[in-house]
A and B are shown apart, each in its own frame.
Chain A
């Protein structure tokens, strides 16, 4: 394609809407407190490595304080409050999140590196939607089909990842407090800022002290939270490796757990697919949020007779992806969240080269500072390649082919993961057949990466335990509920 005379001038979203403090304490029992050890670590903007703020490292005793505050709030306030009153707080939080949406969006983009278009149009509206949705459930739990009088667990420990910081917080906190639990939540080390802003929202909403506690720190803080005897339930979203550690550490402790772990989703494109929309779905499947999506469509499994056509169109489409300043409203692909993650993506991509797959990226100039990786596809990938098996968690797509529908399903299911899958076909019967045969928790037909609070989300096999969202997600936060 020729160079366009229509160059989009920079259209940066203003940073003026956020005020980031130079340092943050821990949010325990409705107030900001300093960590016992006074240890702080930096959180940076991955797009330019600028230090945004200093964050507290919560120690074991801070975790203990937070869990005790949550227990007190549970026994004295939250479990005694009429459910309808609980719901009002969730509605209030949801409304405040909407009112402060721009602030949340800019802060999320600064701390995470994702494009403002996505934080503005996806992360923040969906996070508010989760609070609205669960607010409605608060006083209707006996009608959720989970028994006559479902009861909360008590204190829930929640650990969330860095890919959708505020959205994952909403997925965790909204159902937990709607069902009457109190929470101690630990945001990811590299992306704590929107969770800390959310703490301010809790204050603004007059949420009773201790119902939501937010503690920051690294893996050690997370481990202390998981092991704390005062925790009744753990909810974790993150890597399969850490998920397994958590499962081991809570074995025979009586704690229940929901784990939402990794994925290596197949996006299966049949030759009767709506090709242009399938191309969009492939692009959205793997390049949405820089591919930092557990349900990313990282394996394209395309019918061999349309492989060349799909590849040609995909390359053309990829050359339009705008990589750069995440705050620019026209940016499609932002920064990789951390140096560590960038190193992982590079390592796996190099293994793709070494194992004989063919790498292609469009021409794009990457910024010199910060962590960046060009949108990349590998063709000629086989099931035996590491890039077809391991979760890359970056903007890297592996392309495989199939000859018959059965082969497509076999290849799609040939993975230890089972979080999501996509099917592209204009034939209804084929979609129904494929979605029954695919072993994945979420199956998208002629679309990809669509989320809704009413729709349960979760995985098969090593992609996790339990479901989040919808009626199924409520069950995870209620005792004895099936």
Chain B
């Protein structure tokens, strides 16, 4: 928990009251203007490699199997089997019952440096008792997860029970201790307004989040550029007040290299260059990685490759 507040709901509310509002039209416009940045040649090549290292390679389906996770892990270590100069991804993200499989397979493929992120706390809805949520998290940690992606209780947030949202995050953080990084998913598509996104970002940071994350990927819209912009402003402002760098993870709907590069421009110009690394910015995605690889090949060879040259997950 942050030292900016004393942990009571009153002090939390007092802090949140100091946050300025977000003007939607202005925020949308700022994101749209930054989307016109033209990233070419050497800067594009740098951005693609950085984006690959920021990918949390994800599978979160009811149909996930051991085989699927095994394939994902091999790809996480060497995204392009023909070119080992391609860096590994930032993490592999799975449901908590597959954490052990993911950990084993990463280690087996020479990917012991790649963390396993587990979605917990009754992901994606978060509709379970705190006891279940904590046990969910504990299970993931026991199986070797070093990153926990929890969801906030949007129902509590929207009904004004901000203290409850805060306490839950704090409790999950206590379970994580220093064994795992805590990413707090706001599910911005359900919070709807940018004012809510800003408020929820600060609740998460004050409660001890290491990362704030846009979405589960199960609700649309997810990581829209203006939402990411508002969250990047939040981590920047929190740093200015506390001296602590909190990361941001954009997840959901990011499918193309263009989308990813636009996000990196936002990181660069809104939060600042300190955030341009996988310790402070992640992109939760599955299909994106293949597009990054295709664009990387195009830059290297001058030719577009067909999708047969990238691997299925």
**Looking across the interface, which residue of chain A has its beta carbon closest to that of B47?**
A6
Contacting residue for A5 out of B27, B233, B273, CB 8 A: B273
A280 adjacent to B30 (CB under 8 Å): yes
Place the interface of chain B in its size category: 20 to 34
Q: Would you give the shortest CB distance from A193 to chain B, in whole angstroms?
A: 24
Residues of A contacting B39 with CB < 8 Å?
8-9, 11
Q: Count contacts on A: residues with CB < 8 A to the other chain.
A: 27
Q: Which of A277-330 contact B (CB under 8 A)?
A: 277, 280-281, 320, 329-330
Is B23's CB within 8 Å of the partner chain A? yes
Q: Which of B266-282 contact A (CB under 8 A)?
A: 268-269, 272-274, 276
Is B37's CB within 8 Å of the partner chain A? yes
Residues of B contacting A409 with CB < 8 Å?
none
Is A347's CB within 8 Å of the partner chain B? no
Residues of A contacting B44 with CB < 8 Å?
9
A6 adjacent to B30 (CB under 8 Å): no
Query: How many A-B contacts are there with CB distance less than 8 Å?
Result: 80
A329 adjacent to B38 (CB under 8 Å): yes
Q: Which of B33-79 contact A (CB under 8 A)?
A: 36-44, 46-47, 50
Residues of B contacting A446 with CB < 8 Å?
23, 25-26
B273 adjacent to A277 (CB under 8 Å): no
Is A64's CB within 8 Å of the partner chain B? no
Contacting residue for A6 out of B36, B40, B273, CB 8 A: B273
A6 adjacent to B264 (CB under 8 Å): yes
Residues of A contacting B29 with CB < 8 Å?
280
Is A201's CB within 8 Å of the partner chain B? no
Q: Would you give the shortest CB distance from B227 to chain A, in whole angstroms?
A: 14
A6 adjacent to B43 (CB under 8 Å): yes
B272 adjacent to A11 (CB under 8 Å): no
B276 adjacent to A8 (CB under 8 Å): no
Please report the C-alpha to C-alpha distance between residue A7 and residue B69 in the assembled complex, in whole angstroms: 36
B22 adjacent to A8 (CB under 8 Å): no
Is A368's CB within 8 Å of the partner chain B? no
From B20, B42, B264, residue with most partner A Cβ within 10 Å: B20
Is A2's CB within 8 Å of the partner chain B? yes
Please report the C-alpha to C-alpha distance between residue A121 and residue B37 in the assembled complex, in whole angstroms: 13
Residues of B contacting A426 with CB < 8 Å?
20-21, 23
B22 adjacent to A11 (CB under 8 Å): no
Please report the C-alpha to C-alpha distance between residue A329 and residue B39 in the assembled complex, in whole angstroms: 9
Given contacts A4-B268, A6-B264, contact A274 B36 (CB under 8 A): no
Q: Beyond A274-B22, A329-B38: 11 further Cβ-contacts under 8 Å?
A: A5-B46, A6-B43, A6-B268, A9-B39, A9-B40, A10-B40, A11-B38, A274-B20, A277-B26, A320-B269, A330-B37
**Which residues does B use to contact A, with CB under 8 Å?**
20-23, 25-27, 29-30, 36-44, 46-47, 50, 233, 264-265, 268-269, 272-274, 276
Q: Which 3 residue pairs are nearest across A and B when measured between Cβ atoms?
A: A277-B26, A4-B273, A11-B38
